[in-house]
Amino acid sequence: MEPREIEELLPFYALDALTDEERELVETYLREHPEARQQLDEMGKAVSALPYGAAPVEPAARTKEALMARVAVDPRSRALKQEQAPRPREMRWINIFQAFGLGAATVAILWAVVLNIQLSQMKNQVALLNEALVAQSNALQEINARLAQTPVAETVTISLKGTDIQPQAQGQLIADPNKNSAVLVIDGLDQLEPGKTYQVWLIDGGEPISAGLLSLDSNGQAVLIVTSELTIGEFNALGISVEPEGGSQQPTGDIVVLSDL
Amino acid sequence: MSRSKNANGVSVRIKDESSLLSSKDKTGPEQLSDEILVARITRGDSSALEALYDRHASTVLGVLLKVIGDRALAEDVLQETFWRVWKSASTYESERGPFTGWLFRIARNLAIDAHRRTNVRPQILVTENDVDALADRAPDPDTDVPEQAQVDFRNQQVRAALASLPRVQRQVIELAYFYGMTRQEISKATGEALGTIHTRARLGLQKLREELDREEFEG
């Protein structure tokens, strides 16, 4: 391709609308002609503004709730909490020894001092933890006392289990039977081959009604806000089946989860 | 520093911003830059993701709705977009551009995929009105558009700049960017020669840049 022809591709490169082959041609050209990069940067600035050309739309609250519920059960969220715990201090003492190059006798004396300090710190930490434990215990007692005075909540949690096809699958449906929506949390589902998806069904004795498609994360977990025109309490069962991508009108594939509501 | 390919095949890297990531930092997430929030996400800070969501979700949903045209599906793709941000934050490279560019690329690619799954793309010559309708598709009438007073100044600037472009130039830009149509597909759909499409895209981006500069747009 002539250089002039490749330069004609630059606007579409900036717009990210080239075929893979064309994109490679442009990238090779840019490596060999760095002066074209400036031209591309100018176009890129215009392209970066394009998303603001669409009218902003306030998302439904449930979208954020579902996202944050998904994040909350992600192992990375939990990892941060563990990371924030106090770190061991042994390395700092080792550095002190190296820095001052003390003799063996001095090291022994210092070590004894260090051990005493650490012991003292540990005692303080244990005391603090005990205080926190007592505070939490008191808070728990207060919550229990309030719960005892509060009318029984309408929300129920229903356990969901995998069928013989995926017996390891399990989950929960958290729902108020008098409401039209519920939260489905499912775990342990197998990853599907491309072109397949999991579809959730609510069953009231007649034909199953689709309640949405599941997007599994890499751990086989998924969270879905289930909504229906009928209240959740009007349904007898919930099922999850394997369907072609985009879902089906009625279940056509393997039923991997089926539980009475 | 780490380097890898993200879900969109873009090789990205993020600087070590450990000094800004200290858990002892009392600055609220809503006061931090996008780039610092992304760096915090790499450490599993979900409040940073929440702050980014609050800041950008309405713009992202506007883009998704324009491409997909279905509110429920657009909301699903919005959730997936920010889930990808959560999962792939470590692959974002601040040196290669602002976070919003990366975010919008994820959203746009997911939206185009969703659009292709649910729509038959123009394969044969269609009327000019059809193409206009695709490029100009208005949001769902049920869309909860924010109050005018809350509409971001940047959106007004860009919409004004886009409106100033000749219709045929804006059409090419929008079909390429929002719908991922290649220049050949646009040529086929509009019935215009490939050379004409090239010229419209180049002149359109050039004029858009000039208009944004004139309005002192800061993305």
Contact A226, A211 (CB under 8 A): yes
**Whether A12 and B183 lie within 8 Å, measured CB to CB:** yes
**Whether B46 and A245 lie within 8 Å, measured CB to CB:** no
Q: Which residue of B has its CA nearest to A55?
A: B62
In angstroms, what separates the C-alpha of B25 from chain A's closest C-alpha? 13
- Report chain A residues whose CB lies below 8 A from the CB of B212: 45-46, 49
**Last-in-domain residue among A105, A122, A148:** A148
Q: Which residue of A has its CA nearest to B66?
A: A54
pTM recorded for the entire structure? 0.54
- pLDDT tier for residue B102 given thresholds of 50, 70 and 90: very high
pLDDT tens-digit readout, B108-166? 999 988 887 776 443 333 344 544 554 554 444 444 444 334 446 788 888 889 999 99
Task: Kindly state whether residues A124 and A180 are assigned to the same domain.
Answer: no
Task: Report the C-alpha gap between B173 and A11 in whole angstroms.
Answer: 9
Number of domains observed in the structure of chain A: 3
A188 or B204, which is more confident: B204
Domain residues for A40?
Answer: 3-53
Mutate which of B40, B87, B183 to test chain A, going by most A C-beta atoms within 10 A? B183
Domain(s) labelled CATH 1.10.1740.10 in chain B stretch across 10-119
Domain contains A46: yes
Q: Residue B129: which of B58, B39, B45, B189 has the closest Cα?
A: B189
Fold adopted by B10-119: Rna Polymerase Sigma Factor; Chain: A (1.10.1740)
> Residue A58 contacts by C-beta under 8 Å, 6 or more apart in sequence?
B58, B61, B144, B145, B146
Task: Kindly state whether residues A133 and A217 are assigned to the same domain.
Answer: no
Task: Kindly state whether residues A97 and A113 are assigned to the same domain.
Answer: yes
In angstroms, what separates the C-alpha of A181 from chain B's closest C-alpha? 15
Adjacent-strand bridge partners of A255: A241
Task: Kindly state whether residues A95 and A130 are assigned to the same domain.
Answer: yes
Which member of A72, A218, A245 has the closest CB to residue B46?
Answer: A72
Find the radius of gyration of the CA atoms of chain A.
Answer: 30
**Which pLDDT belongs to residue B38?**
94
Task: Kindly state whether residues A45 and A140 are assigned to the same domain.
Answer: no
Task: Report the C-alpha gap between A83 and B18 in whole angstroms.
Answer: 14
How many other C-beta atoms are found inside a 10 Å radius of the C-beta of residue A3? 11
* CATH architecture, domain defined by B121-219: Orthogonal Bundle (1.10)
Domain(s) labelled CATH 1.10.10.10 in chain B stretch across 121-219
pLDDT tens-digit readout, B6-48? 333 333 344 444 444 544 445 677 778 899 999 999 989 999 9
Which member of A16, A57, A71 has the closest CB to residue B65?
Answer: A57
